[in-house]
Homo-oligomer: A and B are copies of this chain.
Amino acid sequence: MAERKTVEFSGDLIALADVAKALGHPGRLEILRILAGRACICGDIVDRMPLSQSTVSQHLKELKKVGLIRGEIEGPRICYCLDMDAVASAQQGFARLFDGIACCNSEGEENEKCG
A binding-site residues for B, Cβ under 8 Å: 4-10, 13-14, 16-18, 20-30, 32-33, 35-41, 44, 50-52, 72, 74, 79, 81-82, 84, 87-88, 90-91, 94-95, 97-98, 100-106, 110-115
Of the residues B30, B41, B102, B105, contact of A115 by C-beta under 8 Å: B41
User: Are the C-beta atoms of B24 and A17 separated by less than 8 Å?
Assistant: yes
Contacting pair A101 B36 (CB below 8 A)? yes
Name 16 A/B residue pairs within 8 A (Cβ), A-sorted: A5-B52, A13-B29, A20-B20, A36-B104, A37-B105, A38-B112, A39-B112, A44-B114, A74-B113, A82-B105, A84-B102, A84-B106, A87-B98, A87-B102, A91-B102, A94-B98
B25 touches A114 (CB 8 A): no
B81 touching A91, Cβ below 8 Å: no
Which of A22, A51, A84 has most chain B Cβ within 10 Å? A84
The residue in A29, A40, A41, A95 that gathers the most chain B C-beta atoms within 10 A of its C-beta is A29
Q: How far is the CA of A16 from the CA of B82 in the complex (A)?
A: 19
14 new A-B pairs (CB below 8 Å) besides A41-B115, A74-B113, A79-B114?
A5-B50, A9-B27, A14-B26, A16-B23, A17-B23, A17-B24, A20-B23, A21-B25, A24-B24, A33-B101, A41-B114, A44-B114, A72-B113, A94-B98
